[in-house]
Chain A
Amino acid sequence: MINNSLIQLKPNEKAIIGEIVNCGSARKRLYELGLNKGAKVTMVKNDIGPVILNLYGHKLALGRGLASKIIVG
């Protein structure tokens, strides 16, 4: 369990994206959606189901499994 991943963010908490680990071809897709290293995100919703992020003022939903593989700083 990574203890500084996206999944630990509370709603309205801001973070900067770091490494993305162990998720195969999804990693590149995330980069291409703007979740590359250094991108600023704000957690919008994190209770049940996928998390919702605010990225550049737009909303992106990510499965919880995936969110736990995205390290944030």
Chain B
Amino acid sequence: MNTIALVGNPNSGKTTLFNALTGSNQHVGNWPGVTVEKKEGKVTHNDTEFNIVDLPGTYSLGAYSEDEVVARDFILKDNPDVVINVVDATNLERGMYLTTQLLEMGTKIILVLNMMDEAKAKNIEIDIKKLSKNLGVPVVATVASKRKGLDMLLEESISYINKEANQRSIKSYGDYMDKEILHIENILEGSNFDYPKKWLAIKLLEGDMDVLNYIEKNVQKDNFERIKNITGKSQDFELEIVDKRYEFVGEIISSSVVKPEVEKVTLTDKVDKIITNKFLGLPIFAIIMFFIFQITFVIGSDLLGGYVATAIEMFGEFVLNLLEGLNAPELLTSFLVEGIIGGVGAVFEFIPLIVVLYFFLGILEDTGYMARAAYIMDGIMRALGLHGKTFISMIVGFGCNVPGVMAARTLENKKDRMIAILINPFMSCGARLPIYLVFIAAFFPDNGGVVLFTLYVLGIITALILGKIFSKTLFKGESSYFIMELPPYRLPSFRVVIRDMWDKVWDFIHRAGTIIFVVISLLWVLSILPLGVEPYSQESILGRIGTFLAPIFVPAGFGTWQATVSLFAGIAAKEAVVAILGMVYAGVSEGSQLTLALQSVFTPLTAISFMVMTLFYTPCAAVLATVKSETGSSKWAIFIALYPFVLGWIASVIIYQVGTLLGF
């Protein structure tokens, strides 16, 4: 089977092309050892089967980020039969910089000019035949979002794979540089490498740390010193190489591309005048977010989530009746209905919220608004030592902290990314909302909105303060600069948004679903053991754990075994807190009986103290697992399990103690 790799800038429509080519026939995973997504798919055209690999979107193939290293290693080590280089047809100057690097690698490439419709609309004329002749590579025009040009691309791929390549590349980097390149090549002579020697020489002169480390491991010490002497001669080598690449691009396109002299004022310009306005930008962003969350919680969580919950409940009752009719043992019935169906239910009830949230975030992403949101927030975030994009991951965290932590991937700088991950759990996720709602119903029915708002804001402020502290203490390092492309606004493609949404929802089910299911089932086991006790009673293992740990929470005002058990269950999954409170207090999972039960054991003060604890304390198991996989270390997962707990405990103790002193 032939392998095709897709390479291109972010926003070049590369992933849209990948989806258009492979349809549903694809597989999403991770590149080994790094947290970079790996997408592969299959397509058959004229009896030729292709394996298509969507490499991460990059501007370059250096070592600026993990993405770039993944992309170039795949090209050089896995030797795909052909590399399809996707370029935004409206921005060849930028996009083809990457092309020059691919040509330097000596890999067979096909240049794809994507978004040709937009180029036409901008009156950019591209002579495809001439461009192809100038480069010595096949050039194909596509409109991936409208599935145009795909057949042509596949046909070109088939024929190019079987053809001898005659690609042009940069002949000379200037006399001086050429000499140094040759010099390094000579030193490397005699050893075997996974990479071409000339490419290594160029990368070394560019100051590529990743390649330097590789060379250090693979050549003798004196040779390494000689190489370092050459590369250390000037800081400007990298600039000269970059300049040569742009010169090459300029030369290639000068005779094949005509751009209008005066650019039209585009709709994007007009919209941006308002959206990024210094006075209007923030309020508009706030309003958009408000509506998205309103819709997410009202439709996603309450309405659709409610239907799912009812359906699962009915199914549970159906199974219960069925098993009772069959005289099945009580333990088996309880296991199936409460353990299994309850566990699956906890996952499924949450899915509508995730679906709706991702749908809207997908629209924001696809229209190009998300980049503006990061832009608008950067000013404020910068003052706190954080990056504008961090705010995007915080917003996603309001839905669920699992995708919130994942969203930190868009931050290229390691420091920014770590901070974004560590503060995300303070964004009050959708699963914590029912806890607040139960307590509000019981104690603050008239001021519910204020209480809820205060809790959310408390979470945000805490996250921001901690972010500032972390950036000053744990992760000093180089603070990253804000560099971000603002893509033109586009009408969202329904197909792209839906497809993206399902990808993420499946990822959520896969990641969080399995963990939530397992721990909820485990909780059930703890609640019925040792055999013979009343389930969810103080004598069960669960009850005993609660009784044992309860004294910890006495200073916070809720040192009962029941409250403790529910918090304990919340570490499994936050959905479990209300369910467990219901089971241990009222023998029902929710409703007015629970409200009455809570009123008899909590006071308004301890209710606030308890809510603040649930806002702050240890994130759920699914988040802990995600933090572990995203940071690649259990150390951070343990850290994030412990410090929020301590913080929550201190906060709730202060609230209770001060409140008591003040006579509440």
Known A-B contacts A32-B97, A45-B276; the reply to A62 vs B59 at CB < 8 A is: no
**Contact at A65–B481, with CB atoms within 8 Å?**
yes
Question: Quick check: A34 and B94 within 8 Å, CB to CB?
Answer: yes
Give the interface centre of A33, A37, A60 by most chain B CB atoms within 10 Å.
A33
The distance from the CB of B478 to the nearest CB of chain A, in whole angstroms, is: 6
- Evaluate contact between A25 and B484: CB separation under 8 angstroms: no
A61 and B375 contact, CB distance less than 8 A:
yes
B252 CB, nearest partner CB in chain A, Å: 15
Evaluate contact between A56 and B239: CB separation under 8 angstroms: no
B481 & A49 in contact (Cβ 8 Å cutoff): no
Q: Does A43 contact B (CB under 8 A)?
A: no
Pick out which of these stretches binds chain A: B145-153, B376-384, B423-431: B376-384
Q: Please state if B478 and A24 are interface contacts (CB–CB under 8 Å).
A: yes
Contact between chains at A63 and B272 (CB < 8 Å): no
Q: A28-B62, A29-B64 are in contact. Are A61 and B97 (CB under 8 A)?
A: no
- The reply to whether A29 and B59 contact each other, CB–CB distance below 8 Å, is yes
B238 at the interface (CB under 8 A from A): yes
Given the complex of chains A and B, what is the CA–CA distance between A56 and B250 in angstroms? 12
Q: A30 on the interface (CB 8 Å rule)? A: yes
Cβ–Cβ contact B481 & A23, under 8 A:
yes
Give the size of the chain B interface in residues (CB under 8 angstroms): 41
Contact A48 B276 (CB under 8 A): no
**Contact of A61 with B59 in the complex, beta carbons under 8 Å:** no
Closest beta carbon of chain A to B390's beta carbon, Å: 14
Most chain B beta-carbon neighbours within 10 Å: one of A32, A57, A61: A32
The verdict on B278 contacting chain A, using a C-beta distance below 8 Å, is yes
B64 nearest CB neighbor, chain A only: A29
- Tell me the residues in window 14-58 of chain A with beta carbons closer than 8 Å to chain B beta carbons: 23-26, 28-34, 36-38, 44-45, 47-50, 52, 55-58
Smallest Cβ-Cβ distance to A54: which chain B residue = B263
Is B645 engaged at the interface, CB distance under 8 Å to the other chain? no
Is B562 engaged at the interface, CB distance under 8 Å to the other chain? no
- The contact of A62 among B238, B242, B259, B481, by CB within 8 Å, is B481
Tell me, rounded to whole Å, the shortest Cβ–Cβ distance linking A46 to chain B.
Answer: 10
Q: Does B179 count as interface, using CB distance less than 8 angstroms?
A: no
Contact B483 A26 (CB under 8 A): yes
In the complex, what residue of chain B is closest to A33 when comparing beta carbons?
B59
Q: Give the shortest distance, in Å, between B623 (CB) and chain A (any CB).
A: 30
CA distance A56 to B60 in the complex (A): 18
Q: Which residue of A lies closest to B259 (CB)?
A: A57
B216 on the A face (CB < 8 A): no
Given contacts A25-B64, A28-B62, A49-B278, contact A37 B243 (CB under 8 A): yes
**Interface size, A (range):** 20 to 34
Interchain CA distance A57-B265 in the complex, whole Å: 10
Q: How far apart are B571's CB and chain A's nearest CB, in angstroms?
A: 39
B residues less than 8 Å from A58 (CB atoms): 90-91, 94, 485, 487-488
Interchain CA distance A45-B259 in the complex, whole Å: 23
Are A57 and B91 touching (Cβ within 8 A)? yes
With an 8 A cutoff between CB atoms, is A66 at the interface?
Answer: yes
- Complex formed: what's the CA distance from A31 to B276 in Å? 25
A65–B378 Cα distance when bound, in Å, is 12
Asked if A36 contacts B239 (CB within 8 A), the reply is yes
Find the B residue at minimum CB distance from A23. B481
Cβ of B482 under 8 Å from chain A: yes
Tell me how far the C-beta of A22 lies from the nearest C-beta in chain B, rounded to whole angstroms.
11
> Is A47 in contact with B59, judged by CB distance below 8 angstroms?
no
> Could you tell me the distance in whole angstroms from the C-beta of B565 to the nearest C-beta in chain A?
48
Interface status of A59 (Cβ within 8 A of chain B) = yes
Q: A33-B59, A49-B376 are in contact. Are A56 and B94 (CB under 8 A)?
A: yes
Contact across chains for A30 and B483 when beta carbons are under 8 A apart: yes
Bound together, the chains give a CA A52 to CA B487 distance in angstroms of 12
**A39 CB → nearest B CB, Å:** 8
Residues of B within 8 A of A66 (CB): 481-483
| Chain B, 215-260, CB within 8 A of any chain A CB | 238-239, 242-243, 246, 259
Kindly name the residue among A52, A55, A61, A66 whose own CB sees the greatest number of chain B CB atoms within 10 A.
A61
Q: Which of B540-596 contact A (CB under 8 A)?
A: none
Closest CB in chain A relative to B12 CB, distance in Å: 11
> What is the CB-to-nearest-CB distance from A32 to chain B, in angstroms, rounded to a whole number?
4
B93 part of interface (Cβ distance < 8 Å): yes
Contacts of A47 in B (CB 8 A): 278
CB of B486 within 8 Å of the partner chain: yes
Within 8 Å of chain A (Cβ to Cβ): is B122?
Answer: yes
User: Please, how many angstroms separate the alpha-carbon atoms of A31 and B83 in the complex?
Assistant: 24
Q: A39's closest neighbor in chain B, by CB?
A: B246
Residues of B within 8 A of A61 (CB): 371, 375, 378, 482-486
Q: Chain B residues near A63: list those with CB within 8 A.
A: 378, 382, 481-483
Q: A25-B64, A47-B278, A49-B378 are in contact. Are A36 and B484 (CB under 8 A)?
A: no
Tell which of A32, A38, A52, A62 touches B60, judged by Cβ atoms closer than 8 Å. Answer: A32
Distance between Cα atoms of A32 and B62 in the complex (Å): 10
Contacting residues, chain B, for A44 (C-beta < 8 A): 269, 272
Q: Please give, as numbers and ranges, the residues of chain B lying within 8 Å of A60 by CB-CB distance.
A: 483-486
| B residues less than 8 Å from A36 (CB atoms) | 239, 242-243, 246
Within 8 A of A (CB), among B387-422: 388
Report Cα–Cα, A42/B549, bound state, in Å.
Answer: 64
B485 touching A31 by the CB < 8 A rule? no
- What 1/0 mask marks residues of chain B from 71 to 114 whose CB sits below 8 Å from any chain A CB? 00000000000000000001101100100000000000000000
Whether the pair B379, A48 counts as a contact (CB closer than 8 A) is yes
> Which among A44, A63, A65 has the greatest number of chain B C-beta atoms within 10 A?
A63
Please provide the chain B residues from 157 to 207 with a CB less than 8 Å away from any CB of chain A in the complex. Answer: 206-207
Within 135-158 of B, Cβ neighbours of A (below 8 Å) are at none
Determine the residue in chain B with the shortest Cβ distance to A58.
B91
> B268 → chain A, closest Cβ, in Å?
8
Q: Across the interface, name the chain B residue whose C-beta is closest to A45.
A: B276
Verify B242–A32 contact, CB threshold 8 A. yes
Give chain A's interface residues, CB within 8 Å of chain B: 23-26, 28-34, 36-38, 44-45, 47-50, 52, 55-63, 65-66
Chain B residues with a Cβ under 8 A of chain A: 59-60, 62, 64, 90-91, 93-94, 97, 122, 206-207, 238-239, 242-243, 246, 259, 263, 268-269, 272, 276, 278, 371, 375-376, 378-379, 382, 388, 478, 480-488
A-B contact pairs, 24 of them (CB 8 A): A24-B478, A25-B64, A28-B64, A30-B483, A31-B238, A32-B59, A34-B93, A34-B94, A38-B243, A44-B272, A45-B272, A49-B278, A49-B376, A52-B375, A55-B94, A57-B91, A58-B91, A58-B485, A58-B487, A59-B488, A61-B371, A61-B485, A62-B481, A62-B482
The 4 closest A-B CB pairs, nearest first, are A63-B482, A49-B379, A59-B486, A66-B481
